[in-house]
Amino acid sequence: MIRFVIILPLVIVAWMLLVKVVRDVRNANVDWTGITTIIGFIALAFWLRHVTGMG
């Protein structure tokens, strides 16, 4: 029960922050090409680390 009392507020706060970020991003003029490139490189780094075991 104590874990539930601790985790529930954290989940609620994380959800509120996520909703705020999504609203801010929708209203902003964002360069999606750059963001997707960065996310792609990060995903590639994690995948290569998983495959090769190095890094």
Tens of pLDDT, residue by residue, the chain (55 residues): 788 888 999 999 999 999 998 898 888 887 889 889 999 999 999 999 999 987 6
Neighbouring residues of 31: CB distance < 8 A, sequence distance ≥ 6: none
Separation in Å, CA 37 to CA 6, 7, 11, 28: 36, 33, 29, 19
The confidence score (pLDDT) of residue 31 equals 81
pLDDT given at position 25: 84
DSSP annotation of 2: H
**What pTM did the predictor assign?**
0.50
What's the half-sphere exposure (Cβ side, CA atoms, 13 Å) at 27?
6
